[in-house]
Amino acid sequence: MVAVHLVVASILALLIGLSLGAVGGGGSILAVPVLVGVVGLTAEEATASSLVVVGVASLVGVVSHARVGRVAVAAGLGFAAVGAAGSFVGTRLNERLDGDVLLLGFAALMVVVGVRMLQSLRRTDALPVDDVPLERVRPDPEPVERAADLPRYRDGAQLRRYVSTGTEAPPVAAPTAPAWTPRRVGALVATGTGVGLLTGLFGVGGGFVIVPALVLVLGFPMPVATGTSLLVIALNATLALVFRGGVDSVDWAVVAPFTVAAVLGVLLGRAVADRVPARNLSAALGVLVLAVAVWTGVDAAIALAANP
């Protein structure tokens, strides 16, 4: 029976990695519920194990994205640095909270994340969606116009864009961050600290917050924000593990296959990101996150009612 649980958990880990690789976050929030509900770990064990899984998978994703210039290293290091204090506080809170209370709070966080992901799909004033791989958007002596590459603005106007049909693609250099105004600095510090707190407390990566922050605050295009988010997640997970005193509480018989499956998902996610619209991936993930949130919340509430 344990073997069956591990197989199911590994399949779900593959989906978690797929989300990390494709959209830079969101899926890691499913790791803790899977480790608790499917594998049978306690909340404390699951949050520690999740840090290992998410950290390793994100690191592999960073390497994959960096090969095509989709990682802004300086911005990622800065984001993780300002989150160190939040990670420390979150880790200390994790040690003091009852496991069922922790899971109930985790379910509430999942609801927020799921709703946020679905609401973002309804925005009509967002930038035009670009589902063409960034490394293929480049000057071409004989450009080819494709109808699918004409996204519409809110007023119905079309953005006409030409996409190279060549197979070779030069690396894409990460853009330079905009001027550091006090407002941008404040937003970055607040967001980084909040993400660090969530990582230390719940063992999640926080990509659902990091990616929008990199796009809206620093002005990075979505592909670069996705790759940079993975760097931040890997660093935050490492810091949280250090604050927990290492990996002594990690059950490697469970975590090792789970991590391998997540890594495979990340590698697959890079390919999926080049072929499947990010909106479709976010919609599916948002629905899944909400479903798991309900399951986790009800289970934790029943356990708390039985053991007041």
Digit-coded pLDDT (tens) for 103-162: 898 889 888 888 877 877 765 444 333 333 444 334 444 444 444 444 443 334 444 443
Q: Report pTM.
A: 0.69
DSSP 8-state code for residue 39 = I
Question: By the 8 A CB rule, do 296 and 33 touch?
Answer: yes
Q: Nearest-5° angle of CA 113, CA 22, CA 294?
A: 30
Looking at residue 211, its pLDDT comes to: 80
Domain boundaries in the chain? 2-125+178-306
Pairwise pLDDT comparison (308 vs 201), residue with the higher score: 201
| pLDDT score recorded for residue 65 | 82
Q: What is the mean pLDDT of residues 54-77?
A: 86
Examine the pLDDT at 85 and tell me if it is beyond 70.
Answer: yes
Cα separation of 47 and 33, whole Å? 9
Using the 8-state DSSP alphabet, how is residue 42 labeled?
Answer: -
pLDDT digits (tens, 9 = 90+) for 183-218: 777 888 888 898 889 888 888 777 777 887 887 777
Task: Supply the pLDDT for residue 235.
Answer: 92
Least confident of 74-83, 123-132, 253-262: 123-132
Q: Residue 182: pLDDT above 60?
A: yes
Taken in order 44, 308, 288, 24, the sign of the CA dihedral is negative
Query: Cα separation of 29 and 48, whole Å?
Result: 13
**Average pLDDT, stretch 76-102?**
89
| 103 Cβ neighbours under 8 A, 6+ residues apart | 32, 33, 36, 43, 296, 297, 299, 300, 303
Half-sphere exposure of 128 (CA within 13 A, CB side): 15
CB 171 within 8 Å of CB 69? yes
Tokens of 273: 């990101």
pLDDT at 255: 86
